């Protein structure tokens, strides 16, 4: 019986917490690595439309984005839908140059997989989109993706 008593005397064992910071650091590094900071600051308001039959856009490095929407600073730039390429407003004529530039940034072998993602606001008129599509056709960027939020069938009904 004495042996049992001895154990009781030791009291509750404390969990060693000295490795807690290491665990937290590990988590921290995981999130630091996976975090993708937004590369461009949006200057147009983009709220993509909803769709059910969407596909995932794979290989983000092979995607170039075209943003279309109403400028965030309405007083300064008006309420007309504008195109944003990289960090500035652009016209339809600039799209060809933009695609050429995007192509040059990629490897020769990867160029044919380049996808253009059109991120347009749901209230945009199709006129702008059609113009963009015509420009893309001229330059030969045939793979496009209409960015849209995935919803399930139930949400729509």
Partner 1 sequence: MASRSTPEINAGSMADIAFLLLIFFLVTTTMDIDTGITRKLPPPVEDDTDIDIKQRNVFKVLVNSADRLLVEDKPGDIRTLKSQAKEFITNPTNSEDLPEKRLETIDYLGEVEISKGVISLKNDRGTSYEMYIAVQDELTKVFQELRNELSVQHFGVKYDNLVNEDKRNAIQDAIPMAISEAEPENVGDN
Residues that bind partner 1 (CB under 8 A): 17-18, 20-21, 24-25, 27-28, 31-32, 34-38, 48-57, 60, 63, 68, 115, 117, 120-127, 129-130, 133-134, 136-138, 140-150
Q: Residue 109 in 3-state DSSP?
A: helix
Beta bridge partners, 116, equal: 64, 144
**Least Å distance between CB 152 and partner 1?**
12
**Least Å distance between CB 104 and partner 1?**
21
Task: Please say which residue, 27 or 40, places its beta carbon nearer to partner 1.
Answer: 27
Say if CB 72 and CB 44 are below 8 A apart.
yes
Residue whose tokens read 């960015």: 147
Task: Please say which residue, 84 or 147, places its beta carbon nearer to partner 1.
Answer: 147
Please give the Cα distance from 121 to 69 (Å, whole number).
5
**Least Å distance between CB 12 and partner 1?**
20
**Least Å distance between CB 102 and partner 1?**
16
Say if CB 101 and CB 37 are below 8 A apart.
no
Task: Please say which residue, 54 or 90, places its beta carbon nearer to partner 1.
Answer: 54
Task: Please say which residue, 12 or 55, places its beta carbon nearer to partner 1.
Answer: 55
User: Where does residue 42 rank: exposed (0-12), middle (13-18), buried (19+ CB within 10 A)?
Assistant: middle
């Amino acid at each position: 019986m004495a042996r049992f008593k001895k154990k009781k005397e030791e009291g509750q064992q404390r969990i060693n917490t000295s490795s807690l910071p290491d665990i937290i650091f590990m988590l921290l590094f995981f999130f630091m690595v996976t975090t993708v900071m937004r590369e461009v600051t949006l200057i147009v308001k983009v709220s993509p439309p909803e769709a059910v039959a969407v596909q995932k856009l794979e290989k983000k490095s092979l995607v170039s984005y075209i943003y279309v929407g109403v400028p965030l600073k309405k007083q300064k730039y008006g309420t007309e839908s504008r195109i944003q390429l990289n960090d500035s407003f652009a016209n339809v004529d600039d799209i060809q140059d933009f695609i050429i530039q995007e192509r040059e940034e990629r490897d020769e072998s990867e160029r044919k997989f380049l996808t253009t993602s059109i991120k347009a606001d749901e209230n945009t008129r199709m006129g702008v989109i059609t113009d963009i599509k015509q420009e893309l056709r001229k330059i030969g960027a045939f793979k496009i993706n209409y960015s849209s939020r995935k919803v399930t069938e139930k949400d729509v009904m």
